[in-house]
Amino acid sequence: MTRFVLNGETVEARGVSPSMTMLDFVREKRGLTGTKEGCAEGDCGACTVVRVRRNGAVEAVNACLMQIGQADGEEILTVEGLEKLNGGAPVPVQQAMAEGDGTQCGFCTPGFVGALFALGQTGEAIDDETIHDALAGNLCRCTGYRPIVEAARAACRQPVTFMPATPSTAAPVQDGGGTVFHSPATLSDLIQIRAAHPDAMLIAGGTDLGLSVSKERKRPPVVISTANVAELRRIEETEDAVTFGAAVTYTEALPLIAQNWPSFARLIRRIGSRQIRNLGTIGGNVGNASPIGDTPPCLIALGATLTLAGPGGTRELATEDFFLDYRKTALRDGEVIRSIHIPKLKGGESFRVYKVSKRYDQDISAVVGAFRISRSNGSVASARIAFGGMAATPKRAAAAEAALGGADWTEDAFAAAGARTGEDFSPIDDHRATAGYRGKVAANIFLRLFRDLDGASEPLEVVQV
């Protein structure tokens, strides 16, 4: 049985699969039809609901990607529940949207309201950049965004004070509708459960694997969530490195990433909207082992290492050695990713990452190139380079590294190194880009890199087509 609070009332979802999406549950089981399905893959934001986590954080999430088992022990607010927080009256965001003509057909409006309500609870400075970031995961086809942004300016500075009604405990095992949902609290329990169910769906945020539930309508017999494992939720910073537990969300990791690797932070903001970042994790992006995953090239270029944990104990592995072949990793039976250890930049080092995609926000990459470069006495002292989208796995550009390391700090030297990527990769044609296009883009990124590092006032750390 799954147990959580929905709009202030405790819900016990008996006989319902804990892998059912929150979107399907609130609409079909509770009749809360304000939450809409637009895309069922976390792009449009029509399904946005507000999640109150056990630690009190108020976040917008995509209900189409969130399984109800992930909400066990937490609180969910749909658009119908917001007025309960304000004595039966619309909350300021709802009032501002109505008075400022921020809604027309109304299909997308509940999602916008959910996203902006959550923004108003974060305590952030409400400027246009923050507003647009908060709205990047919501699409409107009627009004345009001006009145919606104006509603955010007017209302998001007015947080609503309320006492979350979150249950104090969560069930380690939920069962119903033919699915068993495990939510262990310790690493030892996680390893034991994983060893017993090697074919189970293992999720942290589920923003990718969740598509098999939301779009393909599959009901996995066993789901294992890592989201509540204490050891996987830790963030540790030292003078030389930052270590993120594999279940730390993008949102939770972003402040330290922005502080130490600003270009990496800009990439993460493009990977997905706040709704996605509030669920998704770097550990999940690595474990998914997609050749077009955005974070692995960054981790490889930065020299990050993974700590893997399993029945035989823990071991360290360079990120570049984790990916063996297409969707094949070095994980042994029963192993999970425990943490990601990222060294900080040293004196003289710079880091840049470039994402090329058809759409700026929330689009799958055609090519991602990541570079850690050091400069000394007019030459390239060292170069560590990795690409995604260019091979069956994210991997280093060995020939390009060899050409650039020790070369003069000139545009011609960077261009020559870029030309060597053809020796490192044999990309494929697909619907995102042709092999020829990928090869040209990868080579040209070296020119952008040089121009950014050689004195651009505003480094162009991300690009698009």
Per residue in 252-287, pLDDT tens? Answer: 999 999 999 999 999 999 999 999 999 999 999 999
Look at residue 166 in the predicted model and tell me its pLDDT: 64
pLDDT at 55: 85
Whether 299 shows a pLDDT value over 70: the answer reads: yes
Cβ atoms of 49 and 82 within 8 Å: the answer is no
Element (H, E) at 224: strand 222-225
Average pLDDT estimate for 64-80: 96
pLDDT at position 120: 95
Instruction: Give the percent of the chain with pLDDT over 70.
Output: 97
Cβ contact 368:345 at 8 Å: no
Task: Tell me the mean pLDDT in the region 367-396.
Answer: 97
Confidence of residue 203 (pLDDT cuts 50, 70, 90): very high
pLDDT (mean) for 50-69: 94
Give residues with Cβ within 8 angstroms of 190, minimum separation 6: 184, 224, 226, 229, 232, 336
Instruction: Give the dihedral sign, CA 452/457/461/465.
Output: negative
| Residue 351 confidence (pLDDT) above 90 | yes
What's the pLDDT score for residue 460?
A: 47
Quick one: the chain helix, strand, coil %, rounded to 5? 35, 25, 45
Amino acid at 143: T
Is the pLDDT reported for residue 231 higher than 50? yes
Per-residue pLDDT at 458 exceeds 60: no
pLDDT given at position 168: 58
Residue 465 has pLDDT above 60, yes or no: no
Rounded to whole angstroms, how far apart are CA atoms 238 and 236?
A: 7
Residue that has been written with the tokens 């959910």 in this structure: 114
In this structure, the number of other CB atoms found within 10 A of the CB of residue 437 comes to 16
User: Please, what is the average pLDDT of the chain?
Assistant: 94
Give the separation between CA 24 and CA 363, rounded to whole angstroms. 25
Residue 367's pLDDT is what? 97
Mean pLDDT of 27-56: 95
| Cα atoms in the 13 Å half-sphere on the side-chain side of 118 | 29
- Which whole number is the average pLDDT over 308-329? 97
* Spatial separation of the C-alpha atoms in residues 347 and 344, rounded to whole Å: 10
Across 195-207, average pLDDT: 95
Per-residue pLDDT at 459 exceeds 50: no
Residues 6+ apart with CB under 8 A from 238: none
Q: Return the structure tokens found at 325.
A: 């072949």
In the predicted structure, residue 366 carries a pLDDT above the cut 90: yes
Distance CA 9, CA 27 (A): 16
